[in-house]
Amino acid sequence: MRVEIVTVVVMAGALAGCATEPTIQSEASKLAFTGQPANAAAGAAITPAVVVSVQDASGNLVENATTSVTVVLDANPASGTLAGTLTAATIDGVATFSDLNIDHAGIGYTLAASAPGLVAATSNTFDVTSTTPANATRILLTDDPFPYDRIERIDLYFVSVSASLTPDTNTAASFVTVAQPNRLINLLALQNGVTDELGAVVLPTGVITAVRVVIDTDSSSMTLKDGRVLNSASTPGIAWQSSAGRPVLNALVHEQIAVPDTGAIVAIIYDVGQAFIPNQVLDSTSSDSGFVFSPVLRAADARRTGSIAGAVVAGGASGTPVPDASLRLYLGDPADPENTWSVMATARSDADGEFRFSYVTPSVHWLQFPSRAGDSYIVAADPPSGAGLGRLLMPNVQVLAGVETPIGTLVLP
């Protein structure tokens, strides 16, 4: 960076003949966004152009400052990528960026600008909107929350999602790619129905009969609350078993997903509570504190599912909220032993003791199967380890399409 500091020395007698006083340039000190980024569509240029100026300590433009300014993403709520000309030289103390764009829709992006020897600047927040056609089928990802209270985050690298549009799902030719996120996603950030859009594509009207997901296990990891990061190479670690590398994971589909001419909304529910299994569950004598991976995920028509919500407390119906309680949603006959019930989803209570099972298949769906006669949804609530509380079972929970079923307060004994 070249900064010119002009010092003017004038004899007192010479001032009498000057019509105007000389200009004195200040020293460059910092950067500032003088043309803030505006909201834009994903992949489209941010207009008007983003402008960054070199200023002195008082915020005045330093016109003779010559340097190069670089902009990068600061707040990145949707794991977007900033493209365009990211470094620009200043002209009269101003750097202009006319072709910046971000590939993923998200709310609350910010840019950061830097230059050698100057204080960096951060822009105002701005949003990037989706360019998805109105009739596109949207692919959403959500998480059945992780029930183990020693886990901080689960980062899975999602490569692609494909769907079969024909009744025959035995051949690869029946599958078409519907999303290619190619990015890490923290599954534990997707709780209580929060979703991350993996992609959108216009599909022919009909049905989706099967869904497949490809992940990259070498780029995936688990972070414990004590700060340790577990992966395939760590000790303790994650035993990916036959899923190591870039496995193709088949999602369970309870009902075919209808694709109308207006497009569908496909929810992929990743049950990390069942997918990452402590070694002690498989071998009670094991002292290994790592996890074994066994993929458990399903796909559903978001418009044809319901949800279940409630809260976990201790000490009576108006008692103290119980955070980090582990919850399971079973399907089975309440008169039969618990080990005969099917685990349909998992959940975890938040800091206020509240929980939600999202994208649940309606109860009426199971009535068509004679083997399910007498079955209902059953919610089981287990306290966090060391809480000194008992567990609670709530049977006969009914779920309707498009409706949230409130089951009230679960009071742990």
Please give the full DSSP string across 353-384, using - where no structure is assigned: SEEEEEEEPPGGGGGG-GGGTT-EEEEEEEPP
Residues 96 and 140 in one domain: no
Q: Which range has the top average pLDDT, 26-40, 155-169, 305-319?
A: 26-40
Residues 260 and 186 in one domain: yes
Residues 242 and 391 in one domain: no
pLDDT value at 7 more than 70: no
Answer whether 208's CB lies under 8 Å from 164's CB: yes
> Does the residue 235 lie in any domain?
yes
pTM confidence score: 0.67
Residues 188 and 292 in one domain: yes
Burial (CB < 10 A; 0-12, 13-18, 19+), residue 58, is: exposed
Q: Which tens digits make up the pLDDT trace of 214-239?
A: 999 999 999 988 899 999 999 999 99
More confident residue, 284 or 32: 32
Q: Which tens digits make up the pLDDT trace of 243-268?
A: 999 999 999 999 889 999 999 999 99
> Does the residue 7 lie in any domain?
no
Residues 352 and 317 in one domain: yes
User: Which residues pair with residue 109 across a beta bridge?
Assistant: 126
- Report which secondary-structure segment, H or E, holds 274: helix 272-275
- Nearest in space to 88 (alpha carbons), one of 59, 55, 110, 66: 66
Residues 117 and 148 in one domain: no
Residues 147 and 293 in one domain: yes
Domain encompassing residue 154: 133-303
Q: What are phi and psi of 365, to 5 degrees?
A: -60, -35
Per cent of the chain over pLDDT 90 is 57
- CATH number of residue 122's parent domain: 2.60.40.3960
Which two tokens mark 48? Answer: 């008007």
CA distance 124 to 145: 33
Residues 66 and 21 in one domain: yes
Single out the residue in 86, 111, 129 at which a domain terminates: 129
Single out the residue in 84, 100, 129 at which a domain terminates: 129
